[in-house]
Structure 1
Amino acid sequence: MLAGAALVFLLSAWIGSSLPRPTPASISAPISAPEPSAGDSVTIMVETNGVHTGIIMPIVSAEMDWRAVFPSAGRAVNGRYPTHIAVGWGEREVFLNTPTWADLKLSTALRIALQGGEPVMRVSHYVRPAPGKNFRPLTIARADYARMAEAIAASLAPAGGPHAPLRGVDPHDAYYPARGTYTLAQTCNSWVGDMLAHGGVPMGRWTPFAGGVMKWIDAPSAL
């Protein structure tokens, strides 16, 4: 029975991530529109480690200064100030107290699957990240980036900032309380899919796995 439920979940995830999400009428640039010119656009990246995905954004732009939201974005790391942050949303116990999957307790996994969990936002810090297979750049209109940034900031608890970071499994990252409930239906990757959709990025209707997000984002052509 459990195997059957898992198979249904996996099949539903594949179908849900393959069906294109309707583009809201409020999105400024339809999918068929040409790429915005450099002055009208912001370059972001979508990153993945095969399990989690995240959105990489410039720390300072006309639309958002993330230092006012995430204090860690304005601090030097190993003597260098970051130029970009990567944001991801996930389950608190996993992000804060589970260094590897081997450390994940069965009781924690069952609790998350049956009851859900409290979310936190993880913020990583980069200095001029280079495009690659797992760091895929996207150019989006400034109005769409502003909408996405607003949705990301609204995912914090409480919305807005600044916030005091929490200590988690990676000392180089910062972790912040977030809104919502982590469930099998609303995962770290479905949150990323939702945020990208706010930015007008074509995306599947439901993206609970990393692959469901990344199949919508082209790898750099030079690779």
Structure 2
Amino acid sequence: MIPSPLWRWAVAAPIGALYLYGAAGLIGGAIPRNGAWQPPERGVRVYVEDNGIHTGIIVPAAGWEDLIRPADFGDPRYARHGWRSIGWGDRDFYIGTPTWWDLNPVVVLKGAVGSGGSVMHVDAVPEPVAGPGVRAITLRPDEYARLTVFIRASFAPGPPIKGYGSWDAFYPATGRYSALRTCNAWTGEALTAARVKMGAWTPFSATVMWWLP
């Protein structure tokens, strides 16, 4: 039988670690980068989407045809949509979790401690409507170019991987997913690279979204 003090420590340690991680994430997300940035009156419009856990960046489809090809989607007709939703994340979690009902605690834990692979997830979508879960950002042409360079650098060589349906696809990605570099941290890094005002470390979706108008 486990001694009582050791049992209490075994329960308290992971709970304490979660609290520390949450506090560190909120503090990191509250420290601004590119603090002087202001959106221009005119430029290239992009969107940031949030489903409450995961964030992604929605960009115009034009200019991505060499990397994201119509044939990569289950039904190439979806490529007619004028926008591409792009996110980065853990390969096993992304591919193995088409819905939240498919969530596997083992996969979540594996990703948190450091996964062995990552993927880009791309959806062909119509232009979204800005709202609580979707924020519109206007970028200067040079800022959009910086964002494009960052996103393109996240794609790794290799063939596309079948998506959840006819409208999406996965691609091999660079980088290693972990609790320190989450899908939301990637979104924050991408926006920071574009010189948008953003938190220094954004592991949670909220730490990305609260900086966006």
2:77 is matched with: 76
Give distance in 1, aligned partners of 2:130 and 2:114: 38
Any idea what SS the aligned residue of 1:76 has?
helix
CA deviation map 1:80-128 (0-9, x unaligned) = 7110111100111111112233423333223222332411001111122
- Scaled by the length of structure 1, the TM-score of the pair is 0.82
**Shift of the alpha carbon at 1:37?**
4.5
**Shift of the alpha carbon at 1:66?**
0.7
1:118 aligns with 2:117: yes
Unaligned runs of 5+ in 1: 24-29, 219-223
Query: What's the Cα RMSD here?
Result: 2.0
**Number of residues of Structure 1 aligned to a counterpart in Structure 2:** 198
Distance of aligned partners of 1:147 and 1:115 in 2 relative to their CA distance in 1, 3 Å threshold = closer
Alignment-mate amino acid for residue 56 of structure 1:
I
Any idea what SS the aligned residue of 2:130 has?
coil
Give distance in 2, aligned partners of 1:170 and 1:188: 21
Q: Which runs of 4+ in 1 moved over 4 A?
A: none
2:103 is matched with: 104
> Do the aligned residues in 1 keep the contact of 2:121 with 2:171 (CA within 8 Å)?
yes
> Do the aligned residues in 1 keep the contact of 2:93 with 2:111 (CA within 8 Å)?
no
Distance of aligned partners of 1:164 and 1:142 in 2 relative to their CA distance in 1, 3 Å threshold = same
> Do the aligned residues in 2 keep the contact of 1:125 with 1:173 (CA within 8 Å)?
yes
1:31 aligns with 2:7: no
Alignment-mate amino acid for residue 76 of structure 1:
R
2:211 is matched with: 216
- Scaled by the length of structure 2, the TM-score of the pair is 0.86
Distance of aligned partners of 1:215 and 1:117 in 2 relative to their CA distance in 1, 3 Å threshold = farther
Give distance in 2, aligned partners of 1:50 and 1:188: 12
> Do the aligned residues in 2 keep the contact of 1:189 with 1:207 (CA within 8 Å)?
yes
**Shift of the alpha carbon at 1:217?**
0.7
- How high is the sequence identity, in percent, across the aligned residues? 36
Judging by fraction of residues, say which structure has more helix: 2
Give distance in 2, aligned partners of 1:171 and 1:208: 30
